[in-house]
């Protein structure tokens, strides 16, 4: 029975990026078997995989619960690597839920155990997540410091996927710092790897970032092309929030081109997707963008549904896009 549990967990880990739904299904089978025979190590591993799949599919509260259950088991087993992995996922879930202080504490404890056992791959993942957190806190120098440390580790162990993740996040910091040329260079390097590995989600997120960087440079043709490809990728993996994000960003491009009716249509489609997944942050962002569009171009036909109207010339409301993580 233990051999079957190990097989299921191993197979789940092998396909977690390409087929998260199937990976979770296998991990849950392993979880049931491990619970049945009292295999604590197998149960902890399956719970970690389930937690990993939950955050990858935007079920952060569920992922947090599974990660904490795994953490308790790894602690009982004195499995330091397991503790570091579970804490890393706890940190991700806290960050995505907007609980930044709790996220930092979890990441720092995870980093401590990873450094203790000298696991370079795990260290690179944690450093990437800490760098992303500092980016969210607008501490760009510290973010880059962490991300470049993680990048060096990825290159040292020849981990192409994690290197691409690091480059994508470095690109985002450059973009936020208005260094668009550097941002595009990092994004394009990451995109090449994600496309070669057929990773739709990572490809889509990177395409959104590339589109935004081109948009900031007023290269609207390339911005539109990248964002349309991103929408297609998100739709292929049934990511409603991702597709909504890309549609909102594409609406900004059409707005710059003076195509207000098309921009409003994209926002309306983004709103429907946001409501589908009950993403309050997205819904608020769509409403603000629609209000601004209606104020800039009076007479567009459509149901304004009581959207708040912003002053003309106000800046675009930025959407917090999905992140690339190892």
- Greater confidence (266 vs 109) lies with 109
- Give the residue extent of every domain in the chain: 1-113, 119-198, 200-326
Give 29-83 pLDDT, tens digit per residue.
999 999 999 999 999 999 999 999 999 888 999 999 999 999 999 999 999 999 9
Buried-state track 266-284, b at ≥16 Cβ within 10 A, e below 16: bbbbbbebbeeeebeebbe
- Is residue 94 predicted with pLDDT exceeding 90? yes
* 17 DSSP 8-state letter: T
Helix axes 260-276, 240-256, angle to 10 degrees: 170
pLDDT value at position 239?
Answer: 87
pLDDT band, residue 257 (cuts 50/70/90) = confident
pLDDT value at position 289?
Answer: 78
Q: CB atoms < 10 A from the CB of 243, how many?
A: 24
Distances (CA, A) of 273 to 63, 103, 200: 22, 28, 19
Helix %, strand %, coil % of the chain (to 5) = 80, 0, 20
pLDDT band, residue 204 (cuts 50/70/90) = very high
- Is residue 244 predicted with pLDDT exceeding 70? yes
1-113 is a CATH 1.20.1250.20 domain: no
* 219 SS3 class: coil
Rounded to an integer, the average pLDDT of 299-323 is: 39
Structure tokens at 108: 């720092």
CATH code of domain 200-326: 1.25.40.10
Domain pair 1-113 / 119-198, same fold: yes
Looking at the domain 119-198, which fold is it?
1.25.40
Q: In whole angstroms, what is the distance from residue 120 CA to residue 138 CA?
A: 26
């Amino acid at each position: 029975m233990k051999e079957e549990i190990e097989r299921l967990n191993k197979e789940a880990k092998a396909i977690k990026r390409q087929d998260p739904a199937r990976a979770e299904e296998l991990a849950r089978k392993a979880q049931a078997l491990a619970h049945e025979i009292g295999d604590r190590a197998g149960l902890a591993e399956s719970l970690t995989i389930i937690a990993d799949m939950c955050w990858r599919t935007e079920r952060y509260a569920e992922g947090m619960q599974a990660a904490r259950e795994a953490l308790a088991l790894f602690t009982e087993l004195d499995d330091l690597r397991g503790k570091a992995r579970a804490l890393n996922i706890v940190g991700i879930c806290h960050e995505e839920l907007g609980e930044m202080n709790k996220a930092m504490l979890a990441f720092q404890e995870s980093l401590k155990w990873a450094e203790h056992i000298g696991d370079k791959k795990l260290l690179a993942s944690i450093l990437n997540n800490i760098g992303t957190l500092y980016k969210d806190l607008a501490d760009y120098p510290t973010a880059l410091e962490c991300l470049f440390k993680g990048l060096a580790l990825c290159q040292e162990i020849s981990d192409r996927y994690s290197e691409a993740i690091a480059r994508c996040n470095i690109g985002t910091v450059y973009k936020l710092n208005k260094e668009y040329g550097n941002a595009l260079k990092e994004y394009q390097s990451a995109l090449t790897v994600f496309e070669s590995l057929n990773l739709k989600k990572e490809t889509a997120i990177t395409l959104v970032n590339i589109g935004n960087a081109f948009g900031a440079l007023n290269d609207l043709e390339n911005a539109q092309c990248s964002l349309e490809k991103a929408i297609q990728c998100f739709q292929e993996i049934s990511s409603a929030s991702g597709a909504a994000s890309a549609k909102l960003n594409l609406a900004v491009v059409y707005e710059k081109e003076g195509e207000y009716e098309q921009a409003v249509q994209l926002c309306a489609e983004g709103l429907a997707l946001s409501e589908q997944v009950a993403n309050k942050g997205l819904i608020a962002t769509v409403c603000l963008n629609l209000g601004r569009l209606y104020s800039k171009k009076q007479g567009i036909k459509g149901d304004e549904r009581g959207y708040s109207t912003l002053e003309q010339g106000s800046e675009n409301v930025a959407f917090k896009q999905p992140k690339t993580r190892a």
